[in-house]
Structure formats: structure tokens, C-alpha cells
Chain A
């Protein structure tokens, strides 16, 4: 099967949160309770074990290129989701094999296998996956595996009124994204760029199967600027350890020699 994923174009997101609701409805996720955050219109704040789509509302005292306002201001809206990384920290950390790569190349947690150890939680560079307090297991976006199995598109993409969330084959999405970026640049929206589309863009994850077109630096949207799965550093760590071990050995040999030399 070919890889599928999401291209989320934040330049046409209107922050309606239909994706959040459609996701909760399809996946029968509970509401997280009524909490007034005081942070713009964002009252769910971040992705959670029971919130698999989250819309960020970023108010900035900055003008967006190509937009005319009475005073410098813009409101960036962005629907966040599990990135289904090419190289997924959660999957690599999972000791039970509960987290698998599906035929759609998405990252899927099998709830009947997950034992709730939580290793995946700390290994996600985006802070996406988490455990539900009521059942202890880890949960996150499934890229609507069940809907895809019957040829459907994920609930969030289906519900998105402005096609800010586009679902499709990954190579086609990349083509759409490149064209969209080109169009925005030609219209003077110079700040637009693609986040995590390819391995080159984001070597730390090998590229994302849910990638984004953003209008400000990643941190503005609460995304890491250079995410990397923990195992990405394993080779370097082993190398460093090797150097350290070699150094220790050299030091030890030198010490022995000096002792031996002293004896002499």
C-alpha cells in the first residue's frame, strides 16, 4: 500500500474546530471538561490522550505579509495532530509491540496490546502521545485506520470546511504542498514554509506523514524547531561512549604504565 497522510495548510484554516469535534465524535473520545483558558479561543490547549486534533490560536502583534489591517496584528490558526513520523519515537520505544506501522505507513497503537508502560510518552519529540488516566493505556490519532480500511478519509479531513486539512497519498500531498507554497510566495506571503515534509526538512524524524504549511517559526505554534526521535542520537551516543571508553582505556593504560614506570 502507498503511504497516506495529512497536509495541513494553516493559511486557509479558519479555526472552526470542526476537526476536533469530528475526531472526538468518530473515535468516541470523551470531552476533557470545561476549562476556560484565557488563551485566545484555545480552550483545549494541547493534544492529549483524548484530544487527537487540536487547533492552536496564535495572536501576534505582527502583520502578515499581504494582509492589510488597521494596526499590526494577525491571528494564526493551525490544526495540530499526530505527525505519524517516518521514524517514530513512540514506535521505537514501545516494548510490547503495541505500536505498529500500518499498511498505510501510519503509526498505530493497538489498544489490546498496549500495557500502559508509558515509554512512548517520553519518546515523542512533539509531546503527542499520552496515557489516559482512566484506563492507563496510551492513545493518539490513528489516522482513522478504520475509515481508511473501508476507503474513507479521516474524520477531521472530511469535516474540514476549507480543506485546510487535506488527506491523501503522501507523494501527491507533497506535490500539492509545493504548489501551494509557490503560489503563496508569488502572492507575497514570504513567511510561508513547509514544516517536516521530507527527510531533508526534518532529519530528526525522517519527515512527517502529517506535515504543515506554517506562517511563523515552529515555536509560535508550540512545535519544536528541530524535533528528533531519541534513537536518532543513539549512534552518536554509542560513538561518544566509544570515545569515552577509549579515553578511559588510554588513561588506565597510561596510569598503569606510570605506576609500572615508578616501580622501575
Chain B
């Protein structure tokens, strides 16, 4: 966190000054470790073994927060009798569908009830899509004594019982004594009087089991009562400024603003069906139609009417997985014509950069919008395969357009941080020369497209013609009024002629427009709420008048959980939101995240519908049954409980299960994306992990052109332990060549005790640390770490595994005659070697462009 989020880390240090214990778990000893109270070096890729052991420690030592767990989580819910655990099936859950190559989650569901999740794969359910999922949530069965072997708590207990301190030693390379110190520190600091927070950065997500890492953290926090309470929670430290904002109002292929799913071509064939499949009969998602209709009204204005389903048909309907790697694989096979790259540098920052560039070479056109011509913009003349002569520039037909962009000081708008806090950013100076903001680029592109199609009578062009695009502009460069965009996002009530002040005011009759329901209220009363800057000294410590947090200016989600069953704070010290018996409403330092006048003793009647189904002790209002999920009955593609699986390329056999890897992972079986053996590949014997340094920013677009930053970390280097240096003859300050079957790079060597080997069952395992900032253009150049990485991903979110894979490292510079892997593997492909999967999983059908990920994840091309 100190490495990649030094400004956010300010508050960690502030907490430390006040006596907080900082525990840092990382394969490397980093700047965070330097100031932490405890540093735990963990083998990259073994986090679930570690976190699972914490779960086991909490349960077996009876350290869980009983009132919280019994009442606020789904611990008491009974699970289907058909459910079988990984403990029963050697690493698989029940429901593996051999034909489809994926799980059928029917057996994971609550006994007699089917619920859809608040997030994740909401469309994932057993059988054919149908309406009214969750309608019978009241029929859910419970055992509040938590003793029924089919209740969530008992299943959880059994599932993690093998995750012991000894397993942590074997799988993670962490001594029992050190593990117990961490466990004790965490548990001592949780309960009524105290809370602990877990912070993670994007590195945690970059594993084939990344989502389940975070799920395990959620289980720990729910067991300890650390969710919805001040000082608790799980903080996702996003990759850079406003990545949270770009998820809320997404640049993701499968979501519309406010986490509404993108319509699916195969079954969301009209608005009615789309709503039926996505609204929930209970909990907050029962309000779904209001959000969707208001969004369509924001986009298509007067053209959107009840008769034409509010222009629902104008929306693109997705035909499968169109995430980054899926698209680039299709691109490399010639199926993608054009590519907008804005503020991203996939030729450096994305996996298997040789394959990325192969994709770029097949495009008709490429638009890069960045500060300087990045590697992505320059791939056609400066890439390694061009330098080596393997590919000739004259053979590349891609037309590349480069647009210089404005820096954050040269444009206005908002940043949304990890706490969902929107902060308005004022423009300090005009952008120089031809540099323009992203907003400027998109708005003017849209204007020109609308002009182009103005006279078209073709019905397919209606989506562009009817799009509302009437923002004002200002100044000589015609910069769009960012505040008008914010106002549209906030929403407007056309019948009452006023700005929406909260999402509860949204309607499904077309009289409200709203660009993103969760942002409703950010322009309340026509005031730019994110621009508020009231000092902390003039308001309560939660500082509700600094910026604006979604939803409804809530600083802490699910904060009903900060009070006990009767609505009283769990402790005076951790007082936050409570039930005011006199005023008959919830009150406190923050906006209550609950139905404000619903008393703690309210219990729904059996025939209740919508939000009336939430009882007075259901803090997790986005879930259909209002409880925090220790166990996920649906929503995840790789199982209801986190399970330790090894990375695609490991140095170890899975110490817990015969199933080596996540069975549902996404693989790309292609000649230009070869994998090493599952484990014990003597050609690639070392663990590799990639990461960022404080001095540079991601793929370098913002930092490698700046001399002040380049001098601080001037060259590509790797970090190795003195033991590995000795083993491989590496000299500090000298050169090393690092290779995988995808590519080969050279780097300077930094020998440091901050890297340390792990001894597991008598075998010494070494880690090579590889910063990923460098590549072939800029003021500071070097080989790109992602020449080494592979297309391989978590099935839930299609995020790559770059934080744990296997490599070879040898002393000396790269042999000049060896090319980057543009055409195929650098080594003999893997024949034989241990299997990653149990036989039924091996039957997984292959899809297009080499993707092997189960049936629902296949891409369809027209």
C-alpha cells in the first residue's frame, strides 16, 4: 500500500501513530513492510491457504462474534441436501457439468429457495432463465443454533477445518509461530470494542482465484463482525485514480451504469424479460425497473417512450464474454477491426505483450489517446519484433491515430475513490497545444457521429440519432461542461422540474431521468456536491460535507450492522448508527444505510414483497435476504466457498486437493500463449510475481516520460534474494535474462534480503520479483515484464493471473538472436507433465480463439 498508494497510506500511518497494529502480508519486504508491525512473507499464489487458516483459527478457537454472525450473516441458513464440498470431492464442488464444462450451482442453493446475488454473476442460475427468482425467500430454512450439519456455519467449519497452521507452513512458507501472531493480533483487535480493516490492492485480484481471495477476506470480516462498522471493512485500493468511478459508470463490457447488467442477446430479448431476469423479488434489487427506465430516459430522452420500451432495443446486447483478453485473442485472429485505447497501454501493461501486439497488427485502425506516443501507439515501428526484423513495418496495415490528452490538472470532473467518495477536481490551466480532455474527445466524436447520421432513415442508426447529447461547451477549445454531465448522472424529475435528491425518488414511468442510480443526489438541489470542501473542524468526524459518497452520501455501507439487534451501538467506542426510539428512526454520524423508519423489531409478513421483505435486523440490504454471505449460494462461477488452488503455473503440487487449479479458470490454448507444466517444470523452476514501484505509474505512460521520476528508478530490474543470486550466479547491478515460453527479457539485478526463499518440505523455493513499468519507448526504457506473462484468468471477472507464475532466470544479457514470442513458443511445448484437472474437468469444451472456459463464456461472432 505504501508502494502503490503512498497518499492513502498516510492514514495507515496516522492509525499507527494512534496505536493501530499494521500487519503486512506480501511475498516481498516492501516500503509497507518497512513501517509495519508484522511482515509476513507469503508464497505468491497461496493466499487462500493462509486466509482459510485464519477462518479455521477463528472458528476453532471460538473467537467469532456470535450475535453478529447468527443474526447478520447467512450462517444459520440451511443448504441444499445435494451440496457436496471440495472436502468430499477432492477439490471439486458438486454440480460440475461435464458437457458444459462449468458448474451448475443448483446444489449450492439454500434448501428450497433460489436467490440471486447482489453482485457477481446475477444471471447465473440453474436451468433456463426464468422470472421471479427469490420470490419465495421467506421460505428459507434456518437453524439458529448453528448445529445442523447442513447449515452454512457447519459447512464453513468443515470446509476450512483442514486449513491449519501446518498447512500454512507447507503451502505458504509461513512459520506456525508467525501465523499465530497474525491470527492473535487480528482477533484481539475485533469484537464489540474494536474493529480491523483489510486493505488489498489490485495484485490480490490478479490470480485465477482472485475473486475467491477477496471472498475469504469477506468471510473473516463477517465472522469477526468487521463489516458495516467504523474501522472495519475490506478496502479495495484500485489501480489508479477513479478506477472505482469507471466501475460505477463502467468502461466494462458487461455492465451499464450503477451495476445494471448489460442485456444478453440470447435471452434478454425485450425490456420485460430483461427486467424479469434481473430484478429481485426481495431486497433492494426489487427496485431494478426504476433504475433501468430512468437510465434509458437519460440516454434517449423524448424518443424513449413506454410504447417503444424506452428504446431498450438500442442498447448493445452482448453475445458472450467480451473482456480484454477474449477480445485481444479474437483481434489476433483477425476478428476485430478497430480499437480505442484511452489512458491505457496494453502493449506494456497487459498480459503476453507479444500477443497483444499481434492483435494490434491485425487491426484496421487504432486510436491511442495518451500524454505521449506510448508503446501501444508505437508498436508498428519500435516493438522488439520490428527491431529484430522478424516483422516489417511495411507489412503492418493498421492505421494508427494518436491524440494527445489533457492531464488531470487541465480538465475538470470527478474522481471516485475506493471509499466511493466523489471529489470534484477543478481545472488549473488550459491544456497545451492539441491536448484535449477525454470528455472533449468523446463528446466531439459523438457530435460528429450524430452529424454524420443526421439524415439517415435506416432504423439501425436510430440509436445514434436519438441519443441525447446536448451538453453545453465553453472556451476557445469548446470544452464540454463537465458539470452538466454530472447533473445528468444525478438525475432530473421532469414532472416536478427539479433535480433528483436521492435514488428513492426514481420512478419507472418515464418521468425521471438518471444517468446512474447509485449517484443520485450528487447534484442535489442543483449543487455540485462532490465540490464541497467543508473542513473537518466544522463538522462531525465522518465529515459528510466533504465531497459526496454514493449511495446517498453514505460513507460506510451496511452501517446498520454497527448497531446490535435492538439498534443500540455494539459499544460506545464504536458508536456509528443507532435506532432513536423517540424519533422512531435510525440516526447517527452517517446516513443510515437502512430503511430509515424501519424499527429493529420489524419482521416481514410471509407475503411481503420488495423491500418490505427486509426485517429490522437485515443490515445487508442489497442481498435478497438482507444477510452477509459467509457462503455464496449463487453468483460465483467457481464455487460457493473459497478453496485453495495453485496458480496455472506453480512450483508445487496442490497440498490440499487432487484438483490442482481452479477448475473454472479461463485458459487460452493457443500456440502464441503456451503454458508451462502445472508444477515442477524444471525448465522454469522459480516463482515470478510482477508489481509496481512507487516511482512509476503502471505501464509508464505517466511516468517514464518524466526525468524527475526516471532518475529515481532509471532502469528495468528484477529483485532476487542473495540465495537465488548465489544459485544462479547473479551479480548485484549486473544483468539477468528472465524467460518463460511466451517471451524472454533482460533486466538489471538487484540482490536484496527483502526477497527471501521459502523452504517447504526440504525444498527451497525462490521468487523473482519483476516490476512491470518498462518497455521500448520513453525516457527510461527496458524490457517489459509482461512479455513473460500469459493469457490465463479468473472465471468470474476475466482478470489475468500475473502475480504468480513460473520463470527461468540466468545471468547475463539476452541473446540478441532470440526474438520475442510473436509467432509461437520459445521452448518445446508441454507434452506430458502432471494434470491440472480431474478427468471430468479435462473434458471442458474448447471455444473460439483458443479460449477454454466452459460454455457460457464462449464468444460468438456474427
Binding site for B on A (CB under 8 A): 11-18, 20-21, 24-25, 30-38, 40-41, 43-44, 59, 61, 66-71, 73-77, 161-163
Can you list 13 residue pairs at the A/B interface with Cβ under 8 Å?
A12-B35, A14-B2, A14-B9, A18-B6, A34-B715, A36-B717, A36-B733, A36-B748, A38-B749, A40-B750, A73-B753, A161-B6, A163-B10
- The distance from the CB of B553 to the nearest CB of chain A, in whole angstroms, is 26
- Provide the residues of chain B in CB contact with A37, threshold 8 Å: 733
Q: Are B695 and A38 neighbours in the complex by a CB distance under 8 Å?
A: no
Q: Are A41 and B39 neighbours in the complex by a CB distance under 8 Å?
A: no
- The distance from the CB of B315 to the nearest CB of chain A, in whole angstroms, is 43
Q: Are A161 and B10 neighbours in the complex by a CB distance under 8 Å?
A: yes
Answer whether residue B780 sits at the interface, using C-beta atoms and an 8 A cutoff.
yes
Answer whether residue B650 sits at the interface, using C-beta atoms and an 8 A cutoff.
no
Known A12-B17, A31-B711, A33-B711; contact A74-B756, beta-carbon cutoff 8 A: no
CB-based A-B contact count at 8 angstroms: 120
Smallest CB gap from A40: residue in B? B752
- Provide the residues of chain A in CB contact with B41, threshold 8 Å: 70
Query: Out of B34, B733, B753, B780, which one reaches A34, CB within 8 Å?
Result: B780
- The distance from the CB of A71 to the nearest CB of chain B, in whole angstroms, is 7
Smallest CB gap from B181: residue in A? A68
Query: Out of A12, A32, A36, which one reaches B16, CB within 8 Å?
Result: A12
Answer whether residue B754 sits at the interface, using C-beta atoms and an 8 A cutoff.
yes
Known A15-B34, A17-B694, A67-B39; contact A73-B29, beta-carbon cutoff 8 A: yes
Chain A interface mostly: loop
Q: Are B175 and A70 neighbours in the complex by a CB distance under 8 Å?
A: yes
- Provide the residues of chain B in CB contact with A25, threshold 8 Å: 708
Q: Are A38 and B715 neighbours in the complex by a CB distance under 8 Å?
A: no
Answer whether residue B549 sits at the interface, using C-beta atoms and an 8 A cutoff.
no
Q: Are B711 and A77 neighbours in the complex by a CB distance under 8 Å?
A: no
- Provide the residues of chain B in CB contact with A162, threshold 8 Å: 6, 9-10, 13
Counting chain A CB atoms within 10 Å of each CB, the highest count among B29, B178, B751 belongs to B29
How many B residues are at the interface, by size bracket? 35 or more
Known A30-B707, A38-B748; contact A14-B712, beta-carbon cutoff 8 A: no
Q: Are B2 and A34 neighbours in the complex by a CB distance under 8 Å?
A: no
Query: CA of A44 to CA of B751 in the docked complex: distance in angstroms?
Result: 18
> Scoring B residues 31 to 59 as 1 if CB is less than 8 Å from chain A, else 0, what string do you get?
11111111111000000000000000000
- Provide the residues of chain B in CB contact with A38, threshold 8 Å: 732-733, 748-751
Q: Are A21 and B39 neighbours in the complex by a CB distance under 8 Å?
A: no
Query: CA of A40 to CA of B719 in the docked complex: distance in angstroms?
Result: 10
> Scoring B residues 162 to 178 as 1 if CB is less than 8 Å from chain A, else 0, what string do you get?
00000000000011001
Query: CA of A69 to CA of B715 in the docked complex: distance in angstroms?
Result: 29
Q: Are B9 and A15 neighbours in the complex by a CB distance under 8 Å?
A: no
- The distance from the CB of A37 to the nearest CB of chain B, in whole angstroms, is 8
- Provide the residues of chain A in CB contact with B732, threshold 8 Å: 38
Q: Are A20 and B712 neighbours in the complex by a CB distance under 8 Å?
A: yes
- Provide the residues of chain A in CB contact with B10, threshold 8 Å: 161-163
Answer whether residue B710 sits at the interface, using C-beta atoms and an 8 A cutoff.
yes
Known A14-B13, A73-B29; contact A43-B39, beta-carbon cutoff 8 A: no
Q: Are B752 and A31 neighbours in the complex by a CB distance under 8 Å?
A: no
Query: CA of A75 to CA of B694 in the docked complex: distance in angstroms?
Result: 16
- Provide the residues of chain A in CB contact with B754, threshold 8 Å: 59, 73, 75
- Provide the residues of chain A in CB contact with B748, threshold 8 Å: 36, 38
Query: Out of B6, B36, B711, which one reaches A16, CB within 8 Å?
Result: B6
- Provide the residues of chain A in CB contact with B714, threshold 8 Å: 33-36, 43
Known A21-B709, A69-B29, A70-B174; contact A14-B35, beta-carbon cutoff 8 A: yes
- Provide the residues of chain A in CB contact with B174, threshold 8 Å: 70
Answer whether residue B713 sits at the interface, using C-beta atoms and an 8 A cutoff.
yes
- Provide the residues of chain B in CB contact with A18, threshold 8 Å: 6
Query: Out of A40, A68, A77, which one reaches B38, CB within 8 Å?
Result: A68
Q: Are B753 and A41 neighbours in the complex by a CB distance under 8 Å?
A: no
Smallest CB gap from B722: residue in A? A61
Answer whether residue B862 sits at the interface, using C-beta atoms and an 8 A cutoff.
no
> Scoring B residues 692 to 704 as 1 if CB is less than 8 Å from chain A, else 0, what string do you get?
0111000000000
- Provide the residues of chain B in CB contact with A69, threshold 8 Å: 29, 33, 38-39
Answer whether residue B476 sits at the interface, using C-beta atoms and an 8 A cutoff.
no
Query: CA of A114 to CA of B710 in the docked complex: distance in angstroms?
Result: 31
Smallest CB gap from A37: residue in B? B733
Query: CA of A31 to CA of B710 in the docked complex: distance in angstroms?
Result: 8
Known A33-B711, A38-B732, A70-B39; contact A59-B753, beta-carbon cutoff 8 A: yes
